Structure 1
């Protein structure tokens, strides 16, 4: 089975867990589409997208862009007939054992322990945006539907 997690943020990422490997695609809808199409012949494929919403203090323009990206992803998955579900951050984080109110570094620390070889950091040691969340979502969907 192949499990895919998608963080739809502006600097989001897609993570694919399958065949004992972890693969990342940083945000690019065209690249996401070709990656998803590559798995269409897979008998069992499940996708989790982080359930996002506007946050207080977030600008109108950025809220609109965020919602638009989510809609584009849902439309792409629907058109490709790929099953998916929207998962609230608190749900996937709890399933991964991430303490409540953890920041990005805390989340990455827990995810790195679950997947020690995952490339969550860049060449200069900085955390790569969206990768921890995408891998956490893929792990959640793997726990939920895996054998």
Structure 2
């Protein structure tokens, strides 16, 4: 069974409370439970509001995890450091956005992370996490 790291960036700890018209009512705990219920891989979920912490976790995944699912939140549009860490990671990476970033403010239309991601899922709501896991499980099989 594949070993997958699921990373969540800033403000995703407020999922279910923050802007439910954009992000829905499911919490990050709900997302984790629904992903674990799929039983497709060994999963580790982490969330941080701190860029450096996300970089550290990506670096730790080198040689230790088969794949990464990352919702970098606002760091998608600003973080070359996260991009560089992902570029040093050898496995497949799926970038997930709950909302469709291309229908939002212009500054959200560009993601540095997309330059490294093997797949990008945007606008499926929290279903995007499950779609990412299905894709990774197939790719890693």
Q: TM-score range by the shorter chain?
A: 0.3 to 0.5
Larger C-alpha radius of gyration, 1 or 2?
1
Alignment TM-score, normalising by the size of structure 1: 0.42
Provide the TM-score with structure 2 as the length reference: 0.43
